Structure formats: structure tokens, C-alpha cells
């Protein structure tokens, strides 16, 4: 007879909890019945333990919201009550026959129901970082973050927001100037989008604002239409932000975030390098203190070259600009945790103020900023202007979200949570629309400011809210604080950002491993540099799509044979020693069958049959790589089958996927060919051929 302790050891929980083990009867049936009752009584506690461990595991990375904490407390109360009841009824609620009394039975049933309910509810809500949010939290992730906010995060978020402010101000002004706008609008484009993304954005620390990658695109789209009018530049830039924001918002609501997959790495390398060169050349006159203009990159480069040869470089401006560049790169190289941009900008401001450089040396400075916050204002542009801006808006939307999705996923992976790609589009669209309505311009995520927030200890978007509030306070309380800031220092900030975008290593890697994609990157770069940012990006996307269609149009195909000592059937061109079954051609097609390659498939198949060493009786298409068959290809197969059948040959298929078979059934081709002509594996098709035709064939494994 087993002791109570041994029974508790079998259960694995009774001894640890100190709960009563079952009282055993004299017979084996009684012992088994008590053991079953004991396990049933403790099953709800096992579920409670499991749910509590899952909630505690999630809480390590993120504190559960109030509703989740309430469930946790409820689990504790149920566990305590259940323990007390079992302790009381486990010893007293059993009859002389060893069966539990009525109250114990009802309690067991109740606990089973509770356990099932909790096991169904808690897992669905415990995976806070993995499950898709529902309801209001789906569209307003910031509110969900606020509900789960912890007091210990506040000091870190506030400190990170203050550190972020020191970078947001000079960078925002510099990118506004690079886009051809007055510097104040760079601050306007920073304040409101940060607040909007804090509510709609799913990423916890992603920082939005003006960006060097978009500055060149904005300038290329707006400046030709503005005809030199500063008011027109501001209005057109705001309208461009509205259009790009609307495009992002519509794509997010339609769950069309996949469109950014059109921008492959070679395309991104090409347009980023082209944009960097375009913006850099445009900033050189401001860095060296002279003026040069031009609508195209070639004209701008020629103007810079002539000005340098004519000796128009201002020594004081060049000294300030080059010194700022040196400081930025020195801190980036040796003290990466210290924001070199902040050090350079503050140093330039102090030197400019101390020596009164604008008055004595004639160096251009920012000057006093307009006091007050950005006002709500609809851009005054015509329908013709909106139509002219539409291609640029679409390009900006695609480029900004492509960069944003990569950055957002990277930081989400570090933080142990997931981001919804479509919600990122919605948040980006809302932020751009807000920027356009409050005198800003198109914005995106920042690969240079987000690391600052992370290093400073930011935990949530409250850090960005603090940064926006500090910029607003600067504009309201001390708009003259940045007046001494030299323009060459801002040019140095933009040039440093452009140089950080240049991708040389990745392009060199493309040259080594895939020359076709290398030339795609070069084509995109040349298109951006020669034709303009917008045109270059669309040309590169068109080339990428053309390359994809060409690969599907002319896919790889192979004749298969049996290789000694290797399972399966393999390409005879890669394995010349492969043996081929007499009278049987095994043909593999590595692409979908559609209108563009249907005739190529037929020609290659007939060529493989003509090149066979023996007269062909069967041809078996290894169709596992075929993921689709359209109507044109189905008609071709029907005609091919008739032609082969008339010549005394049979067309067979092996390893065709179920969805593709369903398509053939809808076309009526599956039954026309015959279900017996489709085999689950190539081996089954070979066995059937050998059996039907009595071919002398010995496999290496036979």
C-alpha cells in the first residue's frame, strides 16, 4: 500500500503545497479513485500557478495594465480560498467509503469551471507584447502605454526629453534650411508631430521630425513651383506634408504597408547616396559663406566650383563650419555617447556671441525667432499645385515609411515588444497631416535622434512629449536665445547627417556578391543625381519591378536524374553523372506559370524531350516550385497535352500543391488531364512509369 506522501509525489503538487493527500481504500479500485479525485481537486491550482507564471513572465518586460493586475489579484484570492476549502473538506468531507461529500464535489466542479475560464482568458490577454491590440488601444497605443505607465519611468523620460531637446532644436532648423524654408518652420515641424505620434505611434521611443533624407526631396518638389516666393515655399511644403500624410494614412487603414517592400536594399542604397550628395552640394555655399544656386545637381556643382575658383570663400564662415564638422566627427569617433552636434552648436553660439561675429565678420546668423507657437493654418495652394506635388508626396510617403519601418522594428526588437506596421503608417500619416496643418513640412523617423533618446534612458513617448514642450517653451519664453547661432554651424549639422547616410560598404558588397543589384543601386544613384530625387526613385522602383518580371519571365528549369548515394532527383547539369530513366523525362520549372512565360515553358519542355538520350514516352513536370497557373498557362497545358498525346506521349505532374490543383479544377483542366496523371511525389511517378512500361530500372537504394 502506498503512503500519502508517495501519492503526493505522484501528483507532483500536494506535498509542496502541504495539502492533504487522498485517503486510500483497501482495494486497488479505491486507491485509483482517490488518486483521480485528488488530481481533479488540485488541477485548478495547477492552472492558477501556470497563469500566474505567464503573467509574471510578461511583467518582466512590461508591467501589465490595471485590468491584468486585477486578474492576477483575483487568481491569488481564488487560490487562497481553494486551499482553505481543500484543507477543511479534504479531511472532513469524505464518507466512510472514501468518497467526497456533496460540498466537496460542488467545490471541485466550481474550481474546474474557474480553471477552464481562466486558462482561456488569461493567455489571450497576457501576451501583451505579442497579441494585436483591440478596440481603442489598437488605434491609440499611447493611451494604452499611459495606463501601464510606472512612476519609476518618469525621471528617465523627463531626463531623456531634456537631452533630446538639445538635439531637436539645431537639427530641426538645419533641415528646414536644407529644404529651402526659414529655420523656424523646422521647429514647427518638430513640435506637433512629436505630440501626435506619442498618441498614435506604436513604438515606445521612436523620434519623429525633419530628416535629411526628406530635405532634398522637399526642396526638389517645392522650390521649382515657388518661383522664389518664401510664402509660396512655406505653403507648398505644408501642402506636400498633407498629401504625403494622407497617402500614409490611407495605406495604413487599407493595411497596405507591404508597398514599402518595393524599396529593396539596392534601391535604398542608391537613393540615399544620391540624396546625400544632392543635399551636401546644396549646403556647401552656406558652409563656406558664399551664394550659389541651381535647380539641378550639375548646375549646383558647377556654381560651387566657380565660386571656389573665384576666391569667394569667407574665411570666418569656413572656419566656423569646418570647426563644427570636426567637433561632430571627433565626438562621433571617440565619444559616441556625447552628442557632438550639441557641443558644436553650443560652441559656435558662444563664439559668435562673444566676438559678435555677425556684426564684425559679417557671418550670417539665425537671428531672433518669431515668438509664439505654430498656428493652425490651411496651406493656400491651388488644385494645380496639389496635382504637381502628388508624385513627390507618394515618393516621400514610401521612402519615409520604408526607413521608419526598419528603424521601428529594430528598436522594438531591442525592447522586447512588437509594432504593428499598419499602425505605424497611420501614425506617420497623422503626424504629417498635423505638421501640414500647423505650418510644418513632411517628417519621418530619425535614425540620429532616436539613439539619443535611447542612450538618455527614454522608456516611453513621454520623452518626446517633454522635448516638444521644451521647444514650445523656447519659442514662447526665449525666442532670441538662438539668435547668435551661425548659419555655417547649421550647414555643418546637415552635412554631417548627410555623410552618415552615405552607404559605401553595402554597395561594395553588392559588387562582390550580385552585380545586377549593384548596377540597380548605381542606376538609382545616377537617376537621383541627374534627374532629381523624385524621378530617380521612381526610375529605380520601375527597374526593380522590371528585374523581378524578367526573373519570373525567364526562370530556371532543369532536367532531373538519379545520383548514386543521394536521395531524390537532381539537376543533371549540376550532376552530369546522374542516371536517367529510359523513356522518362523529369522536368522541373522553378516559377509560377503565367501569361509571360507560358510559351517559354512549352519550348523548354519540348527541347528537354528532344535532347533526351532515349525516345520519350512520359514527361513528368516536377511542379512543387509552381505556385500559380493562370488561364493563359492552363490553355497552353491543355494544348500541350493534346499534342503529346497525339504523338503517343503522356504529360504528368508530380508534387503539385493543393491550391494549384484547385485552380486547375476550376479551369476544368484537372479532370481533362485525368486525376491519375497527378502524383504526390516524383518517386511515385517513377514507380508507376516503370510498372506500366516494364522498364528495366534499378534504383541505388533497391
Per-residue pLDDT tens for 158-211? Answer: 999 998 998 999 999 999 999 999 999 999 999 999 999 999 999 988 999 999
Nearest by Cα to 40 from 127, 121, 128, 100: 100
The yes-or-no verdict on residue 572 having pLDDT over 70 is yes
CB 271 within 8 A of CB 534: no
The yes-or-no verdict on residue 554 having pLDDT over 50 is yes
Confidence grade of residue 28 (pLDDT, cut at 50, 70, 90): very low
Is 559 among the domain residues? yes
pLDDT at 114: 45
The yes-or-no verdict on residue 546 having pLDDT over 90 is no
Q: Are strands 618-622 and 650-654 parallel, antiparallel or unpaired?
A: parallel
What's the CA gap between 472 and 469, in Å, rounded?
5
> Which of 486, 513, 532 is a domain's end point?
486
pLDDT at 134: 61
What's the CA gap between 641 and 646, in Å, rounded?
9
Within 10 angstroms of residue 43's Cβ, the number of other Cβ atoms is 17
pTM across the whole model: 0.71
Looking at the structure, do residues 217 and 182 belong to the same domain, yes or no? yes
Q: Under 8 Å CB-to-CB from 325, ≥6 apart: which residues? A: 344, 492, 495, 496
The yes-or-no verdict on residue 516 having pLDDT over 50 is yes
pLDDT at 126: 35
Looking at the structure, do residues 178 and 119 belong to the same domain, yes or no? no
Confidence grade of residue 536 (pLDDT, cut at 50, 70, 90): confident
pLDDT at 102: 53
The yes-or-no verdict on residue 687 having pLDDT over 50 is yes
What's the CA gap between 377 and 359, in Å, rounded?
36
Of the given ranges (77-91, 153-167, 356-370), which has the lowest mean pLDDT?
77-91
Dihedral sign computed on CA atoms, order 594, 596, 598, 601: negative
Looking at the structure, do residues 462 and 512 belong to the same domain, yes or no? no
pLDDT at 68: 46
pLDDT at 501: 85
The yes-or-no verdict on residue 366 having pLDDT over 90 is yes
Looking at the structure, do residues 571 and 676 belong to the same domain, yes or no? yes
The yes-or-no verdict on residue 246 having pLDDT over 90 is yes
One-character DSSP codes across 602-659: HHHHHHHHHT-SS--SEEEEE-TT---B-HHHHHHHHHHHHHHHHTT-EEEEES--HH
Within 10 angstroms of residue 481's Cβ, the number of other Cβ atoms is 14
Number of domain units in the chain: 4
Query: 661 vs 545, 637, 664, 675, CA distance in Å?
Result: 28, 13, 5, 10
Beta bridge partner(s), residue 486: 365
Is 356 among the domain residues? no
The yes-or-no verdict on residue 658 having pLDDT over 60 is yes
Looking at the structure, do residues 402 and 265 belong to the same domain, yes or no? yes
State the average pLDDT for the chain.
Answer: 82
Is 370 among the domain residues? no
The yes-or-no verdict on residue 77 having pLDDT over 90 is no
Of the given ranges (63-72, 233-242, 333-342), which has the lowest mean pLDDT?
63-72
Looking at the structure, do residues 219 and 260 belong to the same domain, yes or no? yes
Of the given ranges (181-185, 255-259, 305-309, 579-583), which has the lowest mean pLDDT?
255-259
pLDDT at 537: 78
Looking at the structure, do residues 56 and 99 belong to the same domain, yes or no? yes
Is 663 among the domain residues? yes
pLDDT digits (tens, 9 = 90+) for 631-655: 999 999 999 999 999 999 999 999 9
- Characterise 289 by phi-psi region: left (phi > 0), alpha (psi -120 to 50), beta (else): left
Looking at the structure, do residues 616 and 511 belong to the same domain, yes or no? no
> Which of 442, 460, 486 is a domain's end point?
486
pLDDT at 538: 82
**Residue 679 gets which letter from DSSP?**
E
Is 330 among the domain residues? no
pLDDT at 150: 92
CB 467 within 8 A of CB 169: no
Looking at the structure, do residues 95 and 14 belong to the same domain, yes or no? yes
CB 442 within 8 A of CB 241: yes
Looking at the structure, do residues 583 and 678 belong to the same domain, yes or no? yes
Mean pLDDT of 68-89: 47
Is 700 among the domain residues? no
Looking at the structure, do residues 399 and 255 belong to the same domain, yes or no? yes
The yes-or-no verdict on residue 521 having pLDDT over 50 is yes
Structural domain span for residue 530: 504-553
What's the CA gap between 497 and 509, in Å, rounded?
23
Looking at the structure, do residues 521 and 600 belong to the same domain, yes or no? no
Better-scored residue on pLDDT, 544 or 287: 287
- Which grid cell sits at 150? 510606472
Residue 558 sits at φ, ψ, to 5 deg, of -150, 150
Mean pLDDT of 352-356: 94
Percent of the chain residues topping a pLDDT of 70: 80
The yes-or-no verdict on residue 61 having pLDDT over 50 is no
Confidence grade of residue 228 (pLDDT, cut at 50, 70, 90): confident
**Residue 676 gets which letter from DSSP?**
G
The yes-or-no verdict on residue 8 having pLDDT over 70 is no
Mean pLDDT of 402-408: 84
CB 133 within 8 A of CB 141: yes
Better-scored residue on pLDDT, 64 or 358: 358
Is 164 among the domain residues? yes
pLDDT digits (tens, 9 = 90+) for 125-150: 333 344 455 666 778 898 888 888 99
> Which of 460, 486, 512 is a domain's end point?
486
Mean pLDDT of 673-682: 95
CB 439 within 8 A of CB 233: no
The yes-or-no verdict on residue 308 having pLDDT over 60 is yes
Is 132 among the domain residues? no
The length of the chain in residues reads 702
Amino acid at each position: 500500500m502506498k503512503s500519502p506522501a508517495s501519492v503526493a509525489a505522484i501528483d507532483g503538487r500536494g506535498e509542496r503545497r502541504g495539502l492533504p493527500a487522498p485517503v486510500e481504500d483497501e482495494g486497488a479500485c479505491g486507491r485509483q479513485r482517490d488518486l483521480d479525485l485528488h488530481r481533479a481537486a488540485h488541477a485548478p491550482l495547477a492552472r492558477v500557478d501556470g497563469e500566474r507564471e505567464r503573467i509574471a513572465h510578461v511583467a518582466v518586460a512590461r508591467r501589465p495594465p490595471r485590468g491584468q493586475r486585477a486578474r492576477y489579484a483575483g487568481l491569488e484570492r481564488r487560490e487562497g480560498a481553494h486551499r482553505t476549502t481543500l484543507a477543511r473538506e479534504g479531511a472532513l468531507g469524505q464518507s466512510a467509503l472514501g468518497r467526497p461529500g456533496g460540498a466537496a464535489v460542488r467545490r471541485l466542479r466550481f474550481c474546474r469551471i474557474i480553471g477552464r475560464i481562466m486558462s482561456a482568458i488569461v493567455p489571450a490577454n497576457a501576451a501583451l507584447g505579442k497579441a494585436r491590440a483591440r478596440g481603442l488601444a489598437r488605434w491609440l497605443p499611447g493611451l494604452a502605454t499611459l495606463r501601464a505607465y510606472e512612476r519609476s519611468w518618469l525621471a528617465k523620460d523627463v531626463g531623456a526629453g531634456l537631452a533630446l531637446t538639445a538635439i531637436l532644436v539645431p537639427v530641426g532648423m538645419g533641415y528646414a534650411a536644407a529644404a529651402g524654408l526659414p529655420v523656424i518652420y523646422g521647429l514647427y515641424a518638430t513640435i506637433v508631430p512629436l505630440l501626435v505620434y506619442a498618441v498614435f505611434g506604436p513604438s515606445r521611443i521612436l523620434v519623429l521630425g525633419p530628416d535629411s533624407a526628406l530635405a532634398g526631396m522637399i526642396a526638389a518638389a517645392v522650390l521649382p513651383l515657388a518661383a522664389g516666393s518664401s510664402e509660396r515655399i512655406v505653403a507648398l511644403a505644408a501642402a506636400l506634408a498633407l498629401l504625403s500624410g494622407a497617402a500614409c494614412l490611407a495605406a495604413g487603414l487599407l493595411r497596405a504597408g507591404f508597398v514599402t517592400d518595393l524599396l529593396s536594399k539596392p534601391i535604398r542604397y542608391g537613393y540615399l547616396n544620391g540624396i546625400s550628395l544632392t543635399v551636401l552640394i546644396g549646403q556647401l555655399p552656406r558652409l563656406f559663406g558664399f551664394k550659389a544656386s541651381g535647380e539641378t545637381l550639375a548646375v549646383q556643382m558647377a556654381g560651387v566650383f566657380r565660386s571656389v575658383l573665384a576666391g569667394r570663400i569667407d574665411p570666418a564662415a569656413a572656419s566656423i563650419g569646418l570647426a563644427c564638422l570636426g567637433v561632430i566627427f571627433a565626438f562621433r569617433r571617440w565619444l559616441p555617447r556625447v552628442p557632438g552636434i550639441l557641443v558644436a552648436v553650443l560652441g559656435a553660439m558662444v563664439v559668435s556671441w562673444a566676438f559678435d561675429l555677425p556684426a564684425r565678420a559679417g557671418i550670417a546668423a539665425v537671428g531672433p525667432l518669431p515668438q509664439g507657437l505654430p498656428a493652425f493654418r490651411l496651406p493656400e495652394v491651388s488644385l494645380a499645385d496639389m496635382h504637381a506635388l502628388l508624385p513627390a508626396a507618394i515618393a516621400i510617403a514610401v521612402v519615409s515609411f520604408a526607413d521608419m519601418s526598419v528603424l521601428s522594428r529594430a528598436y522594438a526588437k531591442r525592447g522586447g515588444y512588437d509594432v504593428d506596421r499598419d499602425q505605424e503608417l497611420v501614425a506617420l500619416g497623422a503626424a504629417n497631416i498635423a505638421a501640414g496643418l500647423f505650418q510644418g513640412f513632411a517628417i519621418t523617423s530619425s535614425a540620429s535622434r532616436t539613439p539619443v533618446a535611447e542612450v538618455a534612458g527614454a522608456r516611453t513617448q513621454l520623452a518626446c512629449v517633454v522635448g516638444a514642450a521644451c521647444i514650445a517653451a523656447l519659442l514662447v519664453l526665449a525666442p532670441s536665445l538662438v539668435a547668435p547661432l551661425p548659419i555655417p554651424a547649421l550647414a555643418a549639422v546637415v552635412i554631417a547627417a548627410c555623410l552618415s547616410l552615405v552607404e559605401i560598404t553595402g554597395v561594395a558588397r553588392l559588387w562582390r556578391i550580385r552585380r545586377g543589384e549593384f548596377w540597380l543601386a548605381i542606376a538609382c544613384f545616377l537617376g537621383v543625381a541627374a534627374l532629381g530625387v523624385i524621378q530617380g526613385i521612381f526610375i529605380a522602383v520601375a527597374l526593380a519591378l522590371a528585374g523581378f518580371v524578367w526573373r519570373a519571365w525567364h526562370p530556371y528549369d532543369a532536367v532531373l536524374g538519379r545520383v548514386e548515394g543521394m536521395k531524390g532527383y537532381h539537376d543533371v547539369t549540376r550532376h552530369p553523372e546522374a542516371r536517367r530513366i529510359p523513356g522518362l523525362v523529369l522536368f522541373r520549372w522553378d516559377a509560377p506559370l503565367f501569361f509571360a512565360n507560358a510559351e517559354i515553358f512549352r519550348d523548354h519542355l519540348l527541347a528537354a524531350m528532344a535532347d533526351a538520350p532515349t525516345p520519350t514516352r512520359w514527361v513528368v513536370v516536377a511542379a512543387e516550385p509552381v505556385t500559380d497557373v493562370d488561364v493563359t498557362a492552363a490553355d497552353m497545358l491543355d494544348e500541350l497535352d493534346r499534342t503529346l498525346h497525339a504523338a503517343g506521349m503522356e504529360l504528368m505532374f508530380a508534387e503539385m500543391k493543393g491550391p494549384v490543383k484547385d485552380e486547375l479544377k476550376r479551369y476544368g483542366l484537372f479532370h481533362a488531364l485525368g486525376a491519375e496523371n497527378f502524383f504526390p511525389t516524383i518517386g511515385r511517378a517513377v514507380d508507376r512509369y516503370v510498372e506500366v512500361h516494364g522498364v528495366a530500372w534499378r534504383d541505388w537504394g533497391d
